[in-house]
């Protein structure tokens, strides 16, 4: 898949404002792709609006599906999260089943990508929403990584600290378990140093909130990643 060689993505939240000027800088920054996703105030309107705006640039756009209602055509890929540390089947496979039951006849399966998710910030909205066991130990997380790589053979494992900078030790341990499964890291990257640190272990780092809080530093993470190879 195209994103196999990527190293950096920006994650845009449809519920947050971004100016036209900033969006242009972001899309032409050298980042590998734009991930559209969020867990709060997601509507079919604000998602569709953001897609149209990003589509003015030549950058690949991916929808990370959090609600069935937000899905429209027009993306390069659809990442479908499977929350490996959720204690509710809804977020492991039931929403997926429901969506396939309703829209299966119209799906372009080649654009769907199963995205294993491990949510590790107990205070984030995603953890609460999905009843995730976010206080997982290093051993727990390593076992999820092995499950993703060897049992489920997932194309992606996303270690998500949403809003909090995570443990490089955990991300490093996960990276050692993965060969075929691509490792995404997201959460709390606000500086060039953090971007470089997580890029040592993750195949792709995802930079999100800082876009809205400190745009200049967000843009700097793009080049930071290029220097860690």
Residues binding a copy of itself (CB under 8 A): 80, 84, 86-89, 92-94, 96-98, 100-101, 104, 107, 109, 112, 114, 139-140, 142-144, 146-147, 150-153
* 27 vs 132 by CB, closer to a copy of itself: 132
Two tokens, residue 62: 């991916």
User: Which helix (H) or strand (E) covers residue 20, if one does?
Assistant: helix 20-27
Residue 106 Cβ vs a copy of itself, minimum distance, rounded to whole Å: 12
Residue 41 Cβ vs a copy of itself, minimum distance, rounded to whole Å: 27
Nearest to 118 by CA among 140, 94, 150: 140
- Measured CA to CA, the distance from residue 112 to residue 79 in angstroms comes to 6
- Measured CA to CA, the distance from residue 14 to residue 103 in angstroms comes to 23
* 25 vs 92 by CB, closer to a copy of itself: 92
Two tokens, residue 86: 């959720």
Residue 57 Cβ vs a copy of itself, minimum distance, rounded to whole Å: 29
* 102 vs 123 by CB, closer to a copy of itself: 102
Nearest to 208 by CA among 59, 38, 52: 38
* 153 vs 226 by CB, closer to a copy of itself: 153
Residue 143 Cβ vs a copy of itself, minimum distance, rounded to whole Å: 4
* 80 vs 218 by CB, closer to a copy of itself: 80
Residue 130 Cβ vs a copy of itself, minimum distance, rounded to whole Å: 11
Two tokens, residue 67: 């609600």
């Amino acid at each position: 898949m195209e994103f196999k060689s990527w190293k950096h993505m920006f994650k845009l939240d449809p519920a947050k404002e971004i100016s036209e000027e900033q969006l242009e800088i972001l899309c032409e920054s050298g980042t590998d792709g734009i991930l559209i996703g969020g867990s709060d105030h997601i509507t079919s309107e604000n998602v569709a609006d953001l897609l149209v705006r990003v589509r003015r640039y030549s950058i690949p756009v991916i929808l990370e599906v959090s609600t069935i209602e937000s899905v429209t055509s027009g993306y390069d890929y659809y990442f479908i999260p499977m929350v490996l540390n959720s204690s509710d089947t809804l977020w492991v496979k039931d929403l997926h089943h429901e969506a396939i039951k309703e829209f299966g006849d119209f799906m372009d399966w080649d654009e769907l990508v199963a995205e294993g998710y491990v949510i590790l910030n107990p205070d984030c909205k995603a953890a609460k929403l999905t009843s995730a066991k976010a206080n997982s130990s290093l051993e727990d997380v390593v076992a999820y990584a092995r499950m993703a790589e060897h049992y489920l053979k997932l194309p992606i494992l996303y270690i998500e600290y949403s809003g909090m900078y995570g443990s490089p030790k955990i991300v490093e341990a996960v990276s050692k378990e993965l060969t075929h499964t691509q490792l995404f890291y997201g959460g709390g990257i606000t500086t060039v140093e953090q971007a470089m640190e997580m890029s040592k272990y993750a195949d792709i780092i995802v930079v999100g909130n800082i876009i809205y809080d400190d745009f200049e530093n967000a843009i700097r993470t793009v080049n930071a990643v290029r220097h860690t190879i």
